[in-house]
Amino acid sequence: MVRVLRSTGDSLASVLFPADCRICGDPLAAFSRVPVCQSCWNDLPEQSGPLCARCGESLGVSDFGGGKEEICRPCRVVPPVFERAVAHGLYTGTLRTLLHLLKYDGLEPVSARLGALLAAQVAPVDGLPAKMLVIPVPLYKGKRRERGFNQSDLLARAVCDAMRRLRPEWVGEVAPPGTMLRKRATRSQAELSIMERRRNLRGVFSVPAPERLRGRDVLLIDDIYTTGATARACSEALKKAGAARVWVATVARAQRHEIQFATRRAAETPMHEDVVMWDGGKAAR
């Protein structure tokens, strides 16, 4: 009966309050707080192919090193201080649009389903502690005030809820506000090279009350992993404050070869072409 009433209610709502999917434009068949159709939600494939066992970078032939684990060259040259970084999928297509709806359009309910997808990647990680402190990457106070929310905080809470369902023995709690702070505003990372990104974030993150972290295992949550500069800077601050180990989880991952392709594509684009953003190898105008 409940199923019949819900179906009838959704049909009525779709007639009285017609809406289109914010991604594909098709009419929505049911009333929802998130104007995204089920077909688009299903169009969020996981990453495929061999990935670095530390940072999740896509591995090329030259990246395979010795030992049992497959580690990318950057992680072999400068090992990250975090234990491992995982992500659901590539920062492209539908997943990229969903993150933009969350961050820039303020569709906060999107975070619940994205957090559940991310938890499905975190839950099977080998060696993941049963008790963890979950810390979202902080925004600078001015940006937080302007946006009205921190998307990483919403994702962190959604990940915790989903992890408790996936692994009942897992005990995780979101850290109190202010556990880690971003001390100053920084330039947008999107316009910087890898080395510039790291310099841009040097000394940015701090932990005012290190006693909260001493000896704790930490799960760091963010929306996107691009070059790893943010993940490394946050992990260094957390370890310096006394955290035992740090794991990193992001909804999306921009792989190195895609970043290089986007950079070349932007350099080759004539100045008169109004290129707004790159999306999976296509310039959106």
Instruction: Assess whether 28 and 110 both reside in one domain.
Output: no
Q: Residue 47 has what pLDDT?
A: 87
Q: Is the residue at 225 inside a domain?
A: yes
Look up the CATH number of the domain holding residue 87. 3.40.50
Evaluate if residue 13 carries a pLDDT over 90: no
Structure confidence by residue, pLDDT tens digits, 123-143: 999 999 999 999 999 999 999
Structure confidence by residue, pLDDT tens digits, 220-229: 999 999 989 8
Instruction: Assess whether 34 and 74 both reside in one domain.
Output: no
Which residues, at least 6 apart from 175, have a Cβ–Cβ distance to it below 8 Å?
A: 133, 134, 135, 136, 212
Query: 22, 20, 39: which is closest to 109 by C-alpha?
Result: 22
Instruction: Assess whether 62 and 198 both reside in one domain.
Output: yes
3-class DSSP string for 238-266: HHHCCCCEEEEEEEEECCHHHHHHHHHHH
Instruction: Assess whether 11 and 76 both reside in one domain.
Output: no
Instruction: Assess whether 89 and 142 both reside in one domain.
Output: yes
Q: Is the residue at 275 inside a domain?
A: no
Evaluate if residue 148 carries a pLDDT over 80: yes
Average pLDDT over residues 95-103: 96
- SS3 at position 1: coil
- SS3 at position 68: coil
Instruction: Assess whether 105 and 215 both reside in one domain.
Output: yes
216 confidence band (pLDDT: 50, 70, 90): very high
Q: Is the residue at 80 inside a domain?
A: yes
Parent domain of 1? 1-43
Evaluate if residue 160 carries a pLDDT over 70: yes
Q: Is the residue at 259 inside a domain?
A: no
Query: 41, 212, 203: which is closest to 30 by C-alpha?
Result: 41
DSSP assignment letter at 108: T
Number of domains in the chain: 2
Instruction: Assess whether 118 and 36 both reside in one domain.
Output: no
Average pLDDT over residues 97-115: 95
Q: Is the residue at 140 inside a domain?
A: yes
Instruction: Assess whether 130 and 206 both reside in one domain.
Output: yes
Evaluate if residue 281 carries a pLDDT over 80: no
Evaluate if residue 182 carries a pLDDT over 90: yes
Q: Is the residue at 188 inside a domain?
A: yes
Instruction: Assess whether 17 and 130 both reside in one domain.
Output: no
Q: Residue 30 has what pLDDT?
A: 77
Evaluate if residue 185 carries a pLDDT over 90: no
Q: Residue 29 has what pLDDT?
A: 81
Average pLDDT over residues 262-284: 41
Q: Residue 16 has what pLDDT?
A: 38
| 169 neighbors 256 (Cβ within 8 angstroms) | no
Rounded CA separation 20/33 (Å):
12
184 confidence band (pLDDT: 50, 70, 90): confident
Q: Which phi and psi (to 5°) does residue 208 adopt?
A: -65, -35
Share of the chain above pLDDT 70, in %: 75
Instruction: Assess whether 56 and 10 both reside in one domain.
Output: no
Of 266 and 80, the one with more pLDDT: 80
Q: Residue 62 has what pLDDT?
A: 55
Average pLDDT over residues 76-102: 95
Using alpha carbons only, what angle is made at residue 118 by residues 117 and 122, rounded to the nearest 5 degrees? Answer: 125
**The two structure tokens encoding residue 131:** 């008790």
Structure confidence by residue, pLDDT tens digits, 42-55: 999 998 888 999 99
Sort residue 218 into left (φ over 0), alpha (ψ -120 to 50) or beta: beta
Evaluate if residue 245 carries a pLDDT over 80: yes
Instruction: Assess whether 215 and 144 both reside in one domain.
Output: yes
- SS3 at position 280: coil
Instruction: Assess whether 114 and 31 both reside in one domain.
Output: no
205 confidence band (pLDDT: 50, 70, 90): very high
* Greatest CA separation for the chain: 62
